[in-house]
């Protein structure tokens, strides 16, 4: 079984249920992006769904299409389709993410270069101010898959105070820095809806505790608490009876599942009723073993 994205409701219509090529190790198998959505077509490279004032979509590379060419094409279509809207969240599933690309760089770095250039072409040199929450993990699927959520409501992008914003990483991390914010909060007053990007064991721009899963989990939990506070969610990613949350835990080594589940259950962030998906995936840095993202809706302000 693999992770699926659903467009249209908890069960998802047959044409609104799409896989991302990530093995499900445990927990919830489905990420619901839009309820009561309707398919909008979109063309050969980008399938779109709409619901209320929101737009979601999925783009995939073609067979044999080079990674940077596919990234530029998909992001060009995505940014064109969302013109006039605010981007809330983007998920990227990159084939062989730690593998070698041309020019002696990794596939992830090549993907980041093409993504950054696509944003710059579409939004101009000030594009980092509008970058949304995002994640990029490896997939066994040979196709690049990009999933997004956007809408008319205002988006406030947030950063972790102990991390360098990804779009300001130094050149040692690649020819163009990653293009995402650490979190995005949707709307203004009222209950909070927030999307926390893929979060890992990074302080400043350096990896903490390379290849040590237990230590990386501890650092990741601290980073989640810090970005939670930056989003106005307190230090536990929200509270209140109406609060709904979905954690996705990406693990490089499936054998770390029991450790990750135990540590997440004991760290104080998880509550009864939370949805959790444990997924097998390579992480964007070869020395990272775990990455965690969270989607929050209906949370009380702290």
Say how far apart CA 187 and CA 236 lie, in whole Å: 20
H helix runs in the chain, sequence order: 67-81, 107-123, 213-230, 257-266
User: Is beta strand 133-139 parallel, antiparallel or unpaired with respect to 183-186?
Assistant: unpaired
| Residue 287 annotated to the active site | no
Q: Report whether 10 contacts 32 (CB < 8 A).
A: yes
Say how far apart CA 111 and CA 97 lie, in whole Å: 9
| 205's tokens | 């721009």
Say how far apart CA 84 and CA 71 lie, in whole Å: 21
| 289's tokens | 């073993």
Q: Report whether 173 contacts 207 (CB < 8 A).
A: no
Q: What share of the chain is helix, strand, coil (3-state, %, to 5)?
A: 25, 40, 35
Selecting among 65, 291, 293, 300, the annotated active-site residue is: 291
Q: Report whether 231 contacts 192 (CB < 8 A).
A: yes
**What residues are labeled active site?**
291
């Amino acid at each position: 079984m693999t992770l699926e994205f659903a467009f249209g409701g908890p069960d998802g219509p047959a044409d609104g249920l799409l896989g991302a090529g990530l093995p499900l190790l445990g927990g919830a198998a489905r990420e619901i992006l839009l309820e009561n959505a309707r398919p909008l077509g979109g063309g050969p490279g980008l399938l779109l769904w709409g619901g209320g004032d929101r737009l979601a979509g999925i783009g995939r590379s073609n067979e044999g299409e080079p990674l940077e060419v596919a990234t530029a094409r998909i992001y060009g279509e995505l940014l064109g389709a969302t013109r006039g809207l605010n981007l809330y969240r983007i998920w990227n599933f990159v084939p062989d993410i730690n593998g070698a690309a041309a020019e002696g760089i990794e596939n992830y770095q090549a993907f980041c270069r093409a993504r950054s250039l696509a944003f710059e072409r579409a939004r101009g040199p000030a594009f980092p101010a509008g970058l949304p929450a995002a994640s990029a993990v490896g997939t066994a699927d040979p196709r690049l898959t990009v999933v997004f959520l956007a809408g008319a409501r205002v988006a406030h992008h947030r950063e972790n105070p102990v991390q360098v914003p990804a779009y300001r990483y130094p050149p040692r991390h690649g020819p163009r820095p990653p293009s995402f914010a650490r979190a995005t909060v949707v709307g203004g007053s009222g209950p909070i809806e927030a999307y926390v990007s893929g979060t890992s064991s990074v302080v400043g721009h350096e990896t903490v505790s390379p290849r040590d899963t237990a230590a990386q989990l501890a650092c990741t939990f601290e980073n989640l608490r810090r970005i939670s506070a930056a989003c106005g969610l307190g230090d536990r990613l929200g509270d209140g009876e109406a609060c709904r949350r979905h954690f996705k835990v990406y693990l490089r080594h499936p054998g770390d599942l029991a450790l990750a589940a135990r540590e997440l259950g004991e760290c104080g962030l998880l509550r009864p009723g939370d949805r959790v998906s444990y997924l097998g995936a390579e992480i964007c840095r070869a020395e990272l073993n775990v990455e965690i993202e969270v989607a929050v809706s209906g949370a009380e302000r702290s």
